[in-house]
Structure 1
Amino acid sequence: MTRKRPPGEGSIYQRRDGLWVGAVTIGYTPRGNPRRKVVYGRTRQEVARKLAELQVQRYRGLLSEPTQISVRDWAEDWLRRKGAEVRPRTLESYRYHLAHALPSLKDPKAHDPLGRMRLQSVQPLHVRRLLDGLRLSPHAMRTVRWLLHAVFEDAVRMELVHRNPVAPVRVKGPARKSPGRTLQPEEARRLLEALDEHPSPLALALRLMLTCGLRRGEALGLRWEDVDLEAGVLHVRRAWAKVSGKGVISEPKTSSGYRSVPIPPTTLERLRAYRESVRGLSEEEVLTSWLFPGRDPSQPVHPDAPDHLLRRLLARLGLPQVRVHDLRHTYGSLLLAHGAPVELERKGWTTPTPTSPRASTATSWKRSAGGGW
């Protein structure tokens, strides 16, 4: 026996054994066939109430259509999309950390319980147990958890799952990371003197990082066409980053990384002398060549080369070891120590033009901060 249902209530009928059955459409298959959710009850009112609850969940987006997409496949798609948004080195870091939680991203044959689960099947407890089984530093654990959350959050936005199973899971925060050490003015002066005496062109690259606030990849990614020796300005247009142990050309780290930087007078003199030393090339060939070429002149020197030179020089001078990136921070500290406002640090966080009053003021700060640098 069947009874006609009110409009919008869903399909309700009574079986021959007396049990009431209700069904509601929650979506459609790729072929256009309806997907239906079925509920049961001892009375028609009970089934109608269950169907009403399903309708509310459906309208709230809480009844996502089941799919066969695995966590691993969705993570792979997410990484592929991220490849168009982030730098190669950043993408490599994403894949490396995600592989701690989803080993099949690195080796398709690896044991990967979470990666082989369907997206809709993952519960917070699965994530909790997975993270508890990892033996990583607190910082790495937070990174893995953050990436997993981003992968599932993307699935939520695409309405493949109705909630993010990583959201309730927390991991212990990392110990506070100690900031890099900046050089004191006297230490910076001694290092600059040592750089001037060193015959390697990489010494000039380190000088650019210290006196112009360039990142390592930005300095190594310079071509001669990026350096205006007449105006005393260099233009940051690309970076030379290390990915999988090799150098790769990429865009600057941020959109504000595209910038024009005034060159302090002493550093400009060193650049002009270095330019005069370039022999055997036509003017056009010089403009398209790298300031700091490697053994293969079609590419810049290896990204790690400045680090090795800086360590040797600091050890020889008896100065505490600092990272190459700390030269950039030293640059900002020296400017601020002489009263330069933050926006004049010209480190790629703000982008005043080289002809603006702020840009010329930045040059004057450099002159006062280090005797012309």
Structure 2
Amino acid sequence: MTRKRPPGEGSIYQRKDGLWVGAITIGYTPRGNPRRKVVYGRTRQEVARKLAELQVLHHKGLLSEPSQITVREWAEDWLRRKASEVRPRTLESYRYHLTRALPSLKDPQAHDPLGRMRLQAVQPLHVRRHLDGLKLTPHAMKNVRWLLHSLFEDALRMEVIHRNPVAPIRVKGPPRKTPGRTLQPEEARALLAALDAHPSPLALALRLMLTCGLRRGEALGLRWEDVDLEEGVLRVRRAWAKVGGRGVISEPKTSSGYRTVPIPPTTLERLRAYRESVQGLSEEEVRASWLFPGRDPSQPVHPDAPDHLLRRLLSRLGLPQVRVHDLRHTYGSLLLANGAPVELVAERMGHANPNITLGIYRHLLEEERRGWVLDIG
């Protein structure tokens, strides 16, 4: 007869031959099947005592049974799961950095002692020695350590391992990240004038990055239905990113990336004129079309195209080179320099929270704070 026990404490029953049996779930296999431990005894009390002892060992992480799954195999499973959770470009970055630590992910024949180890056999010392042998920059090392920690943490949650061997490992991180060079106001005005004089629609895409704070992929991912020329706003709903050398549509980086951004009057005038130049399509077809189509109008222009145009224009103007992404940083810097609240700048730029904005523009805000001095004699 089986008597119910509290959840997690296992079950006890008596067989027809009189022997008592107890069973407890101690985890799950890599494929999600429950892993059970069974004990036997002549009395119910004996089996209950054995189950209680197993519970203590289980909570101490001492009951994990050997599994043949390797670190490389678990990493492949982890990447497959992540494919449905993150953007394609993020997944590509995950695979790239993990491959630097586990080369057998790319080439099964590659020398990869950590990747070939059983997942449950990996100890902190193995991870420490493996990372010490990698010739990576501090930034790459930090990414590798974070990814290894994440995939072992996933195995820990699934109760395939009883502790994360990467948790005690520390690596030296890169210096605090600061924005690239931003344009001074007079440089921004000179660039805007050059953009207005350039016949390519890509010049307008660069103007949107500079005057609306859009990321490159967000500007190239705009359809006409996202632009309200009457209200003077645009809505960021998607991004056109380069993955594996080609463009791929993806969602914004975070939920805050979905946002409505006001369009400055001068840029709005340029957009209205550009809209009038779109001919030969019905209103419905125009709304569904890309603002900046490529040679194949069913897709936006190649993600690298704005970079090439910006380099040519800056060279022609005699201005120092900046990245396309620095146009967005220029927008944020100029907003803050003109007294815009950090919360507003974070909202306009699609940051998940104002702390991200503070981290990026801390140097600028510190300069601004130095100007606030109270001299009461």
Same fold (TM over 0.5): yes
Specify the alignment match of 1:252 in structure 2: 252
For structure 1, list consecutive stretches of 5 or more residues without a partner in the other structure.
Answer: 1-7, 9-23, 38-50, 352-373
Specify the alignment match of 2:206 in structure 1: 206
Q: 1:64 to 1:344 in 2, by over 3 A?
A: same
Say if 2:217 is the partner of 1:217. yes
Shift of 1:129: 1.8
Cα shift readout 1:310-336 (whole Å, capped 9, x = no counterpart): 111111111111111111111111122
Q: 1:137 to 1:338 in 2, by over 3 A?
A: same
Distance 1:185 1:260 in 2: 25
TM-score, length basis structure 1: 0.79
Say if 2:185 is the partner of 1:189. no
Specify the alignment match of 2:20 in structure 1: none
Amino acid at match of 2:351: W
Q: Is the 8 A contact 2:28 2:160 kept in 1?
A: no
Distance 2:35 2:204 in 1: 68
Cα shift readout 1:137-194 (whole Å, capped 9, x = no counterpart): 1111111111101111111111111111112222222244453111111111111001
Amino acid at match of 2:225: E
Specify the alignment match of 1:342 in structure 2: 342
Q: 1:338 to 1:59 in 2, by over 3 A?
A: closer
Within-5 A mapping of 1:18-57: 27=26, 35=37, 56-57=56-57
Bigger Rg, which one: 1
Q: 1:224 to 1:350 in 2, by over 3 A?
A: same
Say if 2:104 is the partner of 1:111. no
Say if 2:252 is the partner of 1:274. no
Distance 1:207 1:308 in 2: 15
Shift of 1:214: 0.7
Moved more, 176-185 or 93-102: 176-185
The percentage of aligned residue pairs carrying the same residue is 81
Distance 2:60 2:73 in 1: 26
Q: CA RMSD in A?
A: 2.7
Specify the alignment match of 2:362 in structure 1: none
Q: Is the 8 A contact 2:139 2:174 kept in 1?
A: yes
Specify the alignment match of 1:265 in structure 2: 265
The 3-state SS of whatever aligns with 1:114 is: helix
Q: 1:297 to 1:183 in 2, by over 3 A?
A: same
Cα shift readout 1:220-276 (whole Å, capped 9, x = no counterpart): 000111111111111111000010111000001110111111111110100011111
The 3-state SS of whatever aligns with 2:81 is: helix
Distance 2:75 2:222 in 1: 35
Distance 2:38 2:148 in 1: 30
Shift of 1:126: 1.4
Q: Is the 8 A contact 1:209 1:215 kept in 2?
A: yes
Specify the alignment match of 2:305 in structure 1: 305
Amino acid at match of 2:324: V
Q: Is the 8 A contact 2:88 2:250 kept in 1?
A: yes
Distance 1:269 1:55 in 2: 71
Shift of 1:36: 7.3
Distance 2:28 2:254 in 1: 42
Distance 2:197 2:35 in 1: 77
Moved more, 54-63 or 184-193: 54-63
Within-5 A mapping of 1:97-176: 97-176=97-176
Say if 2:291 is the partner of 1:291. yes
Within-5 A mapping of 1:69-108: 69-108=69-108
TM-score, length basis structure 2: 0.78
Specify the alignment match of 1:358 in structure 2: none
For structure 2, list consecutive stretches of 5 or more residues without a partner in the other structure.
Answer: 1-8, 10-22, 40-50, 354-377
Q: 1:69 to 1:257 in 2, by over 3 A?
A: same
The 3-state SS of whatever aligns with 1:334 is: helix
Moved more, 179-188 or 195-204: 179-188
Say if 2:325 is the partner of 1:315. no
